[in-house]
Amino acid sequence: MLEIKNLHVKLEDEDKQILNGLDLTVEAGKVHAIMGPNGSGKSTLSYVLSGRDGYEVTEGSATLEGEDLLEMEPEERAAAGIFLAFQYPVEIPGVGNMTFLRTAMNSQRKARGEEELSAADFLKMVRAKAKDLKIDADMLKRPVNVGFSGGEKKRNEILQMAMLEPKMCILDETDSGLDVDAMKLVAEGVNALRDEGRGFLVITHYQRLLDHIKPDVVHILAGGRIVKTGGPELALEVENNGYAGILAEVS
């Protein structure tokens, strides 16, 4: 599904290399987790995949189902099936959450040549999905993420994901800021979307989330590259011993 080969990324405005030959393949139907020390390039990877400005790819490729992601605009990537649950969801005063969701859904449908969703169908769908995530009507009415608590923002990301039903879901530290109950809700939201045709890339620092969202593969990202890949036991090792051992072993 998602294939990243030898990806080198530097900052556009600075002479700073962040990703240094990253290789990663996420198959449809699988959940891959990425762990790694602060500043190792995890969020950068997620931004580069979703098309944020400010980064320059100097080498390598990234494709989704064979299509070159790096050539596309962010909105085209979204329509192609990329979704990023942001580490820091953005507040947008003046734009209602519902308007935002509906515009997003219909834009993607239009881009794919599908019919727009009727107002009634949209409402029904959003109400049901919001309920599962314990997002109340008031939060839906408010401007996007404005005045939301940290945990509410993360749940709002998962709501968007549930509505948009992307092919490739990238979750950047969606567990940070969540209490135990919210973590379960979010994990349930993600698990409900698990499907043969869908891939997940879950960035996290903690084993906790992976107790709920069972990964098929765990990668360690350090210094802008995947330095080790293993099964769920790798996450446990990080949890127990930190990164020192693993990093020493690979270098």
Partner 1 sequence: MALADVKQSATEARLAALSMPEGGCLAASRKAALSRVQTLGLPGRRDEYWKYTRPETLTAAEAPKASVFASDEAPMFNEFDRLQVVFVDGVFDADASDDLSLEGVTIDRIADICAQDIHWAKDLYGVLEARGQSPVARPLAALNTAFAQDGVAIHVTGTPRKPINLVYVHSAEISDAILHHVIRVEAGAEATILENGPAASRFNNCMEVDIADTGKLHLVRAQGRDHERRAVTHMFARLGSESVFKSFSLTVNGILTRNEAVIELLGDDAIAHVAGACVGDGEVHHDDTVFITHDAVNCESRQVFKKVLRNGATGVFQGKILVKKDAQKTDGYQISQALLLDDDSQFLAKPELEIYADDVICSHGSTTGAIDEEALFYLRSRGISTGEATDLLTLAFLAEAVDEVEDREMADAIVARLEGWLSRRR
Q: Tell me which residues touch ligand ATP (CB under 6 A).
A: 11, 18, 36, 38-44, 54, 87
Cα 160 to Cα 156: distance, rounded to the nearest angstrom: 6
Residue of minimal CB distance from Mg ion? 43
* Binding footprint of partner 1, residue count (CB under 8 A): 32
Phi first, then psi, for residue 30 (nearest 5°) are -110, 155
Nearest to 34 by CA among 204, 216, 245, 214: 204
Please select the residue that binds partner 1; options are 66, 90, 118, 251, rule is CB under 8 A. 90
CB-nearer residue toward ligand ATP: 41 or 51: 41
Q: Are strands 168-172 and 217-222 parallel, antiparallel or unpaired?
A: unpaired
Taking alpha carbons only, the member of 24, 7, 22, 21 closest to residue 200 is 24
Question: Of 79, 130, 135, 178, which lies in the binding site for partner 1, with binding defined by CB under 8 A?
Answer: 79
* One of 20, 61, 63, 107 touching partner 1 (CB under 8 A): 107
Residue 137 sits in the site that holds partner 1 (CB under 8 A): no
Contacts of 82 (CB under 8 A, 6+ apart): 49, 50, 64, 69, 166, 167, 168, 170
CB 21 within 8 A of CB 225: yes
Q: Report, in Å, the least distance between residue 39 CB and Mg ion.
A: 8
- Eight-state DSSP code of residue 40: S
Nearer to ligand ATP (CB atom), residue 46 or residue 160: 46
- Residue among 21, 39, 93, 197 that touches partner 1 (CB under 8 A): 93
Told to check if 51 binds partner 1 by CB under 8 A, we report: yes
Binding partner at 75 among Mg ion, partner 1, ligand ATP, none, C-beta below 5 to 8 Å by kind:
partner 1
Q: List Cβ neighbours of 216 (8 Å cut-off, separation of 6 or more).
A: 30, 31, 32, 231
Given 3, 5, 8, 100, the residue binding partner 1 (CB under 8 A): 100
Q: Rule CB under 8 A: is residue 164 a binding residue for partner 1?
A: yes
Map residues 51-90 to x or -, x wherever contact with Mg ion holds by CB under 5 A: ------------------------------------x---
Phi-psi region of 204 (alpha: psi -120 to 50; beta: other; left: phi over 0): beta
Q: Which does 84 bind (CB under 5 to 8 A by kind): ligand ATP, partner 1, Mg ion, none?
A: partner 1
* 82 contacts 75 by C-beta, under 8 angstroms: no
Q: Is 183 helix (H, G, I), strand (E, B) or coil?
A: helix
Please report, as residue ranges, which positions from 31 to 50 form the binding site for Mg ion (by CB under 5 A).
42-43
User: Which of Mg ion, partner 1, ligand ATP, none binds 86 (CB below 5-8 Å, type-dependent)?
Assistant: partner 1
**Taking the chain, what is the end-to-end CA distance rounded to the nearest angstrom?**
30
Q: Where along the sequence are the contacts to partner 1 (CB under 8 A)?
A: 50-53, 73-75, 77-79, 83-84, 86, 89-95, 99-100, 103-105, 107-108, 111, 143-144, 160, 164
